[in-house]
Amino acid sequence: MVLPARRQNRKESRPAMSEIEKTIPIEVLRYRPEQDTEPVLQTFQVPFTDDMSVLQGLQYIKDYLDGSLSFRWSCRMAICGSCGMMVNGIPSLSCKTFLSDYYPAGLRIEALAHFPIERDLVIVMDDFIEKLESIKPYIIPKTPRALSEGEYLQTPAERDVYEQFSSCINCMLCYAACPQYGLNSKFVGPGIMALLHRYNMDSRDGGAEQRMELVHSEDGVFNCTAVGYCSEVCPKHVDPGNAVNINKTESAKDYFLRFVMPKGSNSGAAK
Amino acid sequence: MSANLKRSNAPIFWLLFGAGGMLSALLGPMLVFITGIAIPLGLILSPDAMSYAHMQAFAHHWLGAGFVWVIVSLFLWHAGHRIFHSLHDIGIHAGTTAKLICYGIPLVATIVAARAALVSLT
Amino acid sequence: MKPRAIGKRRPYVRPMAGWWRKNPYFVEYMIHEGSAFFVAAYALVLLVGLLRLSQGEAAWNGWLFALHSPLSIAGHLLLLAAMLYHAWTWFNIMPITLPPIFVAGKRLSASAITAGGVAATVLASVILLLVVWRLTS
């Protein structure tokens, strides 16, 4: 869960001390369940160069100042979605946020908002994972298809319909940006809706009807009040808020037309 | 997570909210300007534009009566739904009292406005 | 969701109180949500007018007289500002709330959707003013 610092690699990327002139104060919200009753802020003075990300600042703290600091990270290049945290109150990927932008005032780093804190900057993501599983985030064939029938064909136009929503990296920044999720964690939330929509809109998929039950439900899309901040913070321009709101329209259509339309004809967004 | 898959009745209120929101965005500013600023001050429009004779003729036509009824009721359904969610936002959760006020007022106003519009029609 | 308790695990859930004060984006959200009070207030003014109209000339003239008071005009200036702010924020969020719109095979940009909404309000306002002017002159 929390990757050990890899000192070998660090030696290569860490600038020689003589090059470093500037230090920046980084305030980190610490929470060590065995000793803290509630989270507390701790400030570290971190030497930095202009090319250092916030994540690299945290790695410096872990390697040289306090090895007990816990945080998640993996790819360092904004594709794994592991290092989301609040930087000065804004949900951010710490690997693509730079220390120099906060110099000299410094910055405050907290665990992603709206999730329980496991330890320091590590959140409990069980709820997100369970929701992710529940929407069947994979293509459900319309009819069983034999291998001998070959691959599915999809035109570029058919792909364009869902491509944007397939860029989600499950970083959960949108959940940290969504007050409705913070107020009621039963709400399906933005990122999961983006993925649900991605599969519903796929010309190869036939699973929309199964997925729409959650969309229509009391935990579904109508908990959204169109704050829009989810789409604002998304590092991959997925626009999860749009996925939620497109499905409000779809859900409302189904709500009123289900008695006049044959079942299944209006489940999921129009393809 | 154990999702509550009970179907939500929100689409009814969401649709009224959306219709009222769109209508007030399109016509709200000019309506306020006409009835509350321009006519009382005699700007652009004649000061007797809302005279009893004018308004009676306006409300006597089903289009005029219907227009006012739609504006009054949809504006209130929009506002009620939005305020209901704002109460949730500040930590006052969807209680019966909140529901009764936020959706009860628009409902009563819709009926009262319809009755008044029908009286003016005839 | 209840995190499973294992060993020293004691997940900390942060309170939500005052969440909207912590980010300018949320402050703006709460303000534009608050425009609903002004939309409701104006609807109630019209509702009273509609009731007065159905009660005869004297009742109607009383309502009309009240509209001429400086307090009413000041109130309507405030309502106008709130209504304009509501319209702007409504169209500003529309790129997120509307399904994608394609014109000539290309997806309409967010700024084009907002500009389209504002243009629709300008057009509707001009038409409304012209109709009222024609009906009353």
Closest chain A residue to C9 measured between Cα atoms? A33
Q: Which of A129, A180, A255 to mutate to test the interface with B (most CBs of B within 10 A)?
A: A255
Q: Distance, in angstroms, between A60 CA and closest chain C CA?
A: 26
- C-alpha C22/C-alpha A90 separation (Å) is 10
Mapped onto helix, strand or coil, the DSSP state of residue A40 is strand
pLDDT in tens, A107-153: 999 999 999 999 999 999 999 999 999 999 999 999 988 999 999 99
Q: Which chain C residues contact residue B28 at CB under 8 A?
A: 39, 42, 83, 86-87
Closest Cα to residue C109, out of A239, A262, A250? A239
Q: Which chain A residues contact residue C14 at CB under 8 A?
A: 39, 113-114, 117
- Asked if pLDDT for residue A11 goes beyond 90, the answer is no
Q: Which chains touch A (3 or more CB pairs under 8 A)?
A: B, C
- Asked if pLDDT for residue C8 goes beyond 80, the answer is no
A38 and A116 assigned to the same domain: yes
A91 and A204 assigned to the same domain: no
Q: Which chains touch C (3 or more CB pairs under 8 A)?
A: A, B
In this structure, are strands A107-110 and A84-87 parallel, antiparallel, or unpaired?
antiparallel
Question: What is the count of structural domains for chain A?
Answer: 2
- For chain C, the residue count is 137
A133 and A118 assigned to the same domain: no
CATH of residue A107: 3.10.20.30
Domain hosting A81: range is 7-123
The answer to whether the bond into A104 is cis (omega within 30° of 0) is: yes
pLDDT in tens, A80-93: 999 999 999 999 99
Q: Do B28 and C39 touch (CB under 8 A)?
A: yes
A173 and A252 assigned to the same domain: yes
Last residue of a domain, one of A92, A123, A154: A123
Q: How confident is the model at residue B96 (pLDDT cuts 50, 70, 90)?
A: confident
CATH of residue A173: 1.10.1060.10
Q: Distance, in angstroms, between C23 CA and closest chain A CA?
A: 7
**Position A50 in a domain:** yes
Domains along the sequence of chain B with CATH: 13-21+51-121 (1.20.1300.10)
- Asked if pLDDT for residue A264 goes beyond 80, the answer is no
Residue-by-residue DSSP string for A95-147? GGSBGGGGTTT-EEEEPPTTS-EEETTEEP-HHHHHHHHHT--S--BSS---G
A185 and A145 assigned to the same domain: yes
Is 1.20.1300.10 the CATH classification of the domain at C16-97? Answer: yes
**Position A135 in a domain:** yes
Q: How confident is the model at residue A13 (pLDDT cuts 50, 70, 90)?
A: low
- Asked if pLDDT for residue B57 goes beyond 80, the answer is yes
pLDDT of residue C105: 84
Q: Which chains touch B (3 or more CB pairs under 8 A)?
A: A, C
Last residue of a domain, one of A123, A144, A176: A123
A243 and A161 assigned to the same domain: yes
**Position A144 in a domain:** yes
- Asked if pLDDT for residue A30 goes beyond 90, the answer is yes
A23 and A111 assigned to the same domain: yes
Closest Cα to residue C51, out of B67, B27, B41, B59? B59
A115 and A194 assigned to the same domain: no
pLDDT of residue A6: 47
Q: Which chain C residues contact residue A41 at CB under 8 A?
A: none
**Position A267 in a domain:** no
Q: ipTM for the complex?
A: 0.95
Helix (H) or strand (E) holding A45: strand A40-48
